[in-house]
Amino acid sequence: MKKLKTVAVLTASMALAVSAVPFAASAENTDTANYIYGTMDIPYADFYKAELAGSGNAYEVDAVSSATNTKWTKNGEGELFEGSYHSTPAEDGSGQILGVTYPVAITQAELASLGENNFNFQDLTETPAAYKTVTVTDGKAEFSAVNDAEPQKFEAEINLSTETAWGDYLIAVNSAPEDLGAIYGAVLKTKEGNAYAMRHEQNIWRGQFAWSSGIKTTEPHGNVLDFENYKSLMGETISEIVYIAKSGYYTVETETYVPVKFENTLSVENGKAGTASVKLTQEGYPEDYQSEYSVAENFSVGEDGIVAYSDAVPGTYTLTVSDKGGKYAAFSASFVLSTEDLPVAYDAENKKLIAAEGFTEEQAANFIKNLANVNVNEKDYAASGRGAISIIDKDGVINFEAASGRGDTAAPVFDGSGKYTITVTATGYETPLVITLGAEEQPSETETETEAPTEAESTATSSTSTTKATSTTKATTTTKATTTTAKSTTTTASTGSTESPKTGDSRTAVPAAALAAAGLAVIVSRKKK
């Protein structure tokens, strides 16, 4: 691990480090004994100028503009963008990350010549392990590359993704050194002789690196992504990832090809679960793109664009098309295969979802795996994705202690009254499960297509009864002489997997007015004939 050295230990090695700086020093700079150490707020353009020197695509690095997302101000020790500095926030909360606060070496005379424009110089009481040397010519400061007597190299697994919310590409470096600390900057170097600077928030994010090459130009918070200087990175091979830490350089060597992306259309129509086929639409692909397709077991894609499948369970599926030649990026599209069947019922005694009569445990488990939304007393709660609330666990148990929000803002999902109408929606299932608990007993109602309740059913008072649908056109359950009907609704999904479909973001709610006549425990289930 690198350690700080006291100012008193300034030796001839200091002189050697300074002499290696790729900038011409003025006559006043030759006396290294006059150097003092501190930190300066260095704009990205100045911070990276020497780091990109010699690359075939050297460019001036811009500040990062951010919308009202306040994360860009988190630059304190241990915070998200430690090592950066920013502008004063505007009234709407927007602003810029301007550059990097980094250790420097400068002579007293040259520091004085900068006057008030001294980049917010702050004295250090110890000689830093790494620093940039500052030279001043005609009142203009220039910064060297990092002076580091002990640059580190390490080995790591590099994963490149061509599908990310933060741009067009994302690199994850596994097993970075523990003593790396905060990332003050980073440079991606390629075999083609180019170098690309990474900046906080837009490119550096929790130890990962992301960038846009012009296909996806905004990120989830609405910030516009700079991409002009990263276009040429497509089709190149990254040979080095150079971290700039407070203690100097950490470099990992790699051979990571950046596949070419392009605007295109790829979609798959939704269909029915089981054995059938759906249509694929693929447009805008280069002539030399050699398409290979993958979905899941028992799926195939014909030359006519027809996706055929057999024994497919309901849920979200993802079709991926990749280039057999390896030049271009792979692309994917999600689609939903659905059913009118409802394979789950509510077990009031154990407070959980179980397999409905006529369905298997596997079919019930697939419904639970694909949970999309849980509506409690007319309020929706996402069951998957960002911000999801775990109201029903993977075993189907309902958590009546569930809360939404965190800390002091957490609010119970169930108000404690014991009177709840719960509508459970799953991706790929057109019929939701409706559970009514604790409702006051209502007058008997009957529908012509539903069998009349027995005397035992009409006088039942237990909340543990479980019943099944008797209607062939609607999901109808009769309990305590009360009939509740849930009409079929259609769901859609935004995410999924292959052989084991996951939840989408679909949300379907049954109005509470339609459930007003419910008894103590009403279970709506439906099995397609």
Full residue range of the structural domain in which residue 435 is found:
344-523
Q: Does some domain include residue 528?
A: no
Residues 294 and 429: their CA atoms lie apart, in Å, by 24
Q: What does the block give as tokens for 260?
A: 């070419």
Q: How many domains does the chain have?
A: 4
Residue 148 vs residues 11, 13, 20, 46, 136: alpha-carbon distances, Å: 15, 11, 11, 18, 21
Cβ atoms of 198 and 208 within 8 Å: the answer is: no
CA distance 504 to 491: 9
In whole angstroms, how far apart are CA 330 and each of 162, 231, 286, 321? 7, 18, 13, 6
In a domain, 370, yes or no: yes
pLDDT of amino acid 375? 98
Instruction: Find the CATH number of the domain harbouring 196.
Output: 2.60.40
Within a domain: residue 24? yes
Q: How far apart are CA 87 and CA 298, in angstroms?
A: 56
* pLDDT score, position 33: 56
In a domain, 172, yes or no: yes
Mark whether 275 and 237 lie in a shared domain. no
Phi then psi dihedrals of residue 310, to 5 deg: -140, 145
**Secondary structure tally for the chain: helices H, strands E:** 5, 37
The pair of structure tokens assigned to 295 is: 């979905």
C-alpha Rg value of the chain to the nearest Å? 31
Domain co-membership, 398 together with 418: yes
- Inter-residue contact 332 to 318 (CB < 8 Å): yes
Are 253 and 327 within one domain? no
Structural domain includes residue 497: yes
Q: Which residue has the tokens 């108000």?
A: 415
Task: Report yes or no: 72 and 80 within 8 Å, Cβ to Cβ.
Answer: no
Whether 16 and 61 map to the same domain: the answer is yes
Distance separating alpha carbons of residues 212 and 226, to the nearest angstrom:
7
Give the DSSP letter of residue 29. Answer: G
What are the residues whose beta carbons fall under 8 Å from the beta carbon of 54, sequence distance 6 or more?
A: none
Does any domain span residue 529? no
Considering the domain architecture, whether residues 273 and 159 belong to the same structural domain is answered as: no
| Gap between the Cα atoms of 327 and 343, Å rounded | 45
Indicate whether 440 belongs to any domain. Answer: yes
User: Tokens for 389?
Assistant: 């609330």
- Given this model, what pLDDT does residue 58 score? 95
Signed CA dihedral, 311, 314, 315, 316: sign only: positive
Q: Give the domain-ending residue among 338, 357, 377.
A: 338
**Boundary (domain end) residue, out of 257, 291, 315:** 257
Over the chain (529 residues), what is each successive 10-residue block's mean pLDDT?
40 36 36 82 98 96 90 89 94 94 97 96 95 96 97 96 96 91 97 98 93 95 94 98 97 98 98 98 97 97 96 98 98 98 97 98 98 97 92 97 88 94 98 88 36 40 36 34 36 38 40 36 40
Same domain, 208 and 356: no
- Helix (H) or strand (E) holding 382, with range, is strand 379-382
- Say if residue 122 is in the same domain as residue 174: no
Among residues 523, 293, 322, the alpha carbon closest in space to that of 431 is found at: 523
**Other CB atoms within 10 A of residue 329 CB:** 21
| Residues 354 and 488 grouped into a single domain | yes
Please enumerate in sequence order all residues whose Cβ is within 8 A of that of 454, keeping only pairs 6 or more positions apart, or say none.
none
Please, which residues have CB within 8 angstroms of residue 345's CB and are 6 or more apart in sequence?
353, 354, 355, 356, 357, 433, 466, 468, 523, 525
Q: What is the DSSP string of 270-327?
A: -EESEEEEEEEEEES--TT--EEEE-STTEEE-TTSEEEEEEEPSEEEEEEEEETTSS
Same domain, 377 and 454: yes
Query: 3-class SS at 45?
Result: helix
CATH of the domain at 301: 2.60.40.10
Backbone angles phi, psi at 144, to 5 degrees: -75, 175
Residue 19 DSSP label: H
Of the three residues 311, 338, 365, the one that is the final residue of a domain is: 338
Asked if 226 and 219 count as a contact pair (C-beta separation under 8 A), the reply is no
First to last CA, the chain: 69
CB 46 within 8 A of CB 143: yes
Question: What residues pair up with 522 in beta bridges, in sequence order?
Answer: 436
Q: Which alpha helices (H) appear in 379-482, and where do they start and end? A: 455-458
Q: Hey, what long-range contacts does 154-159 have (CB within 8 A, 24 or more apart)?
A: 154/250, 154/251, 154/252, 155/252, 156/252, 158/238, 158/241, 158/252, 158/254, 158/256
Residue with tokens 């949300």: 507
Q: Is 371 found in the same domain as 289? A: no
Q: What is the dihedral of CA 109, 110, 112, 118, to 10 degrees?
A: -160
Q: Nearest 5°: phi and psi at 188?
A: -95, 120
Residue 189 within any structural domain of the chain: yes
Determine the pLDDT at residue 206: 87
Domain match, 122 and 250 both: no
**Are 21 and 110 members of one domain?**
yes
